[in-house]
Chains A and B, each alone.
Chain A
Amino acid sequence: MVSIRSVPSTPSGLAAGDFPWIIEHREDRCTLCGRCTAVCPVNAIKLTYMRQRMPRLVLSSSERGSSYRTFVGIRQRTEAANRCIGCGTCEKVCPNQAIKPQPNTVSERHRFINTKGGEAWKRGGRKNEPGPSLLDKIIFNRISMLTDPALDAGRHEFSVNTLLGRVLSPEEYLRRKMTGEWIPPVREIFPFIIGSMSFGALSPNMWLGLLQGVAYCNEVLGIPVVMATGEGGCPPWVLKSPFLKYIILQIASGYFGWDEIIRAIPDMQCDPAAIEIKYGQGAKPGDGGLLMWFKVSKLIARLRGVPEGIDLPSPPVHQTLYSIEESVMKMVQSLSMAWDFKVPVYPKISGSNSAKSVLNNLVRNPYASGLLIDGIDGGTGAAYNVSMDAMGHPIASSVRECYLDLCAQGKQNEIPIFAAGGVGKNGNVTQNGLALIMLGASGVHMGKYIMQAAAGCLGSEQNRCNVCNVGICPKGITSQNPKLYRRLDPDLVAERVAETFMAINTEMKKVLAPLGRSQSLPIGMSDAIGIADKAAADQLQIKYVC
């Protein structure tokens, strides 16, 4: 036996088994081609020499009993900076299925020391919580096929679109029509919206693919899908294109990209779908946007009007935010004015106990076109882990409270509430979205789901990958490095976007037909849903079923 000369022990020393993902490598299958080590985005594995003892039974006392062989093999690095992120790119490139990452289900000690240099843990992704979400548990139980002839999801026509924009009361509408006064702009859109992901957070290829897909949905499939830009502007060629009508432009506290947008207004061929003013984000309430320096490429720098290669943290709040009345009122009004009061302008806030007070403020603001509430399960390109995991409010009860508040005032048709945050977290996107709609949302925004469905984002609820912040996305979705984003073919992303929305459209019909609904989106149809959780049922004021 070889003696242990010293124990390599430091306070932050880790073994491979302490990391969230452990590389499982099969020596017998490996051909030492080196593809896995070349492709690993975090250099978690290396080719290294290893020595193996070859025991031998020798009768002659003049010879030693063992010999050693030296071979080349794969090893997982144990430095925290090179921890395996579980993306599985190694597995993808391996010709012999000799390597794959496995989640560490025993002890993930890495979390305790992931503060090197005093830096708290930052990552991309969203709150990691495996298992079904509350939305997954909501079922549609008011089946009307027994009391009435059934609708046929395959043959009947369904009106499933929603309205984005301020809707007047019928009395006020008729009065204004008679007097020829201003009628607020309203857009008829598909209730599943591609949520805000910025040009910067997403790679150019991803962005292009999404836009192509959205245009295809609108112009070929007749599904009026819209997408939101997130903070960071919009490429000038898009601003001046006829595709702008499918885009919700976001303005956030850093105002990145808005120089370009304002300058492009005279050249715009059409109005944007809407303007979203971001006050908060479900994934990281209290934080502004953050684009880390890794991703501030030449193109991004030009779009945002900043130097290359610097961190771009947006302030946590808008500089004008002295009070909600003043800030929201003024911003909503000025942005409405910029497009001649022809574009809906609405705020986005993070889910919170105080969402209702913002909403009530909007009800009294004649220019406010809606409210988007982003729940704690929302995703982001970069944030502190603690913000993502612990800050925020689940979306279901936040939306429900707001909706019931509007009902009490008879205003539920006037200010549409949009919900975001964890929609389709476990793949049940239509079910999650319709559950929120029946709780009172007029539509839902989805970000992470679209990355997963349209571009194959590897993120999961087991803290898989989640490196969107540092621009090393192995799929090229959230990277500004051409070597990486060229892996993503925009045409294929567009195809997946179209497929995804076609499937959502079909699934919606499959839910609505047995409920007997085809004429309008069943917003607030809470008699159709139930949950096998008494406390949640009471809180959401829906049926408890078991």
Chain B
Amino acid sequence: MCRLALKTASEPFSPYTVLQAMEAMQEGYDGSGLGLLLRGLDFTDYSYKAGDPILSGIAHTEEAFHRLGSFMQDRGFELKYDHEFETDLSKIEAKDRHKYILRVYRRPEAWKSLSEDEVELQMMLTRIALRKDGEEHGGDLTAFSFWPDVAMIKEVGWPLNVGEALGLDSHRIKSRVCMAQGRQNTNWGINLYACHPFFIQGIATMTNGENTAFLPIKDWLSGKGFPGYIGYQSDSEVFAHILHYTVRQLKLPLEAYKHIITPLKTEELKDHPQGDFLLGLRNVCRRLIIDGPNAVIATLPDETCMLVMDAKKLRPATIGGKPGEWAIASEMCGVDAMIPDRDPSLDYQPMREHTIIVPPDRQEFQIWSQFDQFPLPQAA
């Protein structure tokens, strides 16, 4: 089973603290891997300029590493910072890790004339092109994310070992948001891309549990013809894509996500203040209804964090913390490990209708219920 931990704090912190929370929850998982997403980065040896895209991935061979260099150069990206991990590869199982990539680039000159939407599309297309390039060369290059202020690491092995192998305990990288997931997707066969968190255009999700409605959702998303809706080595990847579809494509508020993945029943919608709209939304997004058990934890580019459950709530998750610092974990001991000096009596475990949102100011978290009035655009 997967174990999930998220910490968000106004002051940047080391991802190693989250890995320690993973260690606290060790009884619940098989330690087969680690997926890490850092947002709101702070490097001890580099002053990051907002808006510069950061590439995260792995060059498995020297040849792939050189290919990556020329690939980015050809497209006009100028390398501004190359983070050197203090690696100790003896601590991980895999042998084909030539170099872990964490590089900050300057946007190409040609992008200056593009709108922000177009730039964001180009960043995604660049990541996909790199991924495809790696796949065409026997999987020698893995690209996890290419986005401003986001770093991702995915590796096979026990989370704490992976952290030490990459020197994360040296605290040279810090972030304001850190998502960690502690398992390779052993349901489907080991594949680095199949490890949570999943990332698309700044939106990231991680999940525990199995999404049994995966195939019809995947078929529908694939049919949209959006270039980023690919992959699906894991049944959980669709959670990220549905969130992306909800907030970026449909431009609906974050609260709509819950109404799309786990809509209310017809009789419940009849009594809802916007039942008519939501019933229609349920119908048109019917193929995106998930079938848990799942707890979905997400983060957005503005550092908003979210937690939702499936409609039957067979997977637990707890949020706890204090103003300026919040932690979400699949186990209460995970929250304890991340923020020990909080009042645990104020911890909250959302029920099937809840969406927990931690806004970027991190002063308090919101509990929004599906039965509440939905923040709709005026005309709808």
The interface of chain A, by Cβ under 8 A from chain B, is 142, 144, 147-149, 151, 156, 159, 161, 163, 167-171, 173-174, 177-180, 183, 186, 188, 407-413, 515-520, 522-528
Contact = CB atoms under 8 A, between A and B. Distances in A.
B216 A177 contact: no
A84 to B, nearest CB: 50
18 contacts: A144-B210, A147-B210, A149-B293, A149-B314, A151-B312, A163-B286, A170-B285, A173-B281, A177-B280, A178-B377, A183-B280, A410-B224, A412-B287, A516-B210, A519-B290, A519-B291, A520-B289, A524-B219
Contacts of A519: 213, 262, 289-292, 310-312
A148 B277 contact: no
Given A407-B223, A412-B287, A517 B213 contact: yes
B289 A518 contact: no
Interface residues of B, number: 41
A151 B210 CA distance: 13
B312 A518 contact: yes
Interface string B199-221: 00000000001101111100110
A442 to B, nearest CB: 10
Contacts of B215: 524-528
Given A170-B284, A173-B284, A188-B266, A516 B212 contact: yes
A contacts with B: majority SS: loop
A525 B265 CA distance: 21
B291 A523 contact: no
Contacts of B379: 177-180
Interface in B262-320: 262, 265-266, 277, 280-281, 283-287, 289-293, 310-312, 314
Given A177-B380, A413-B220, 14 more contacts: A144-B210, A148-B210, A149-B293, A170-B250, A170-B284, A173-B284, A178-B380, A179-B379, A180-B379, A412-B223, A413-B284, A515-B212, A519-B291, A528-B215
Contacts of A522: 213, 216
B348 to A, nearest CB: 22
B138 interface: no
A166 B265 CA distance: 20
Nearest to A521: B286
Given A411-B223, A519-B291, A523-B216, A167 B314 contact: no
Contacts of A151: 312
B249 interface: yes
Contacts of A161: 266
Given A409-B223, A410-B225, A526-B215, A168 B284 contact: yes
A412 B289 contact: no
A463 to B, nearest CB: 40
A407 B219 contact: yes
Contacts of B291: 516-520
A412 B217 CA distance: 11
A525 B215 CA distance: 6
A226 to B, nearest CB: 15
B216 A186 contact: no
B212 A156 contact: no
A298 to B, nearest CB: 43
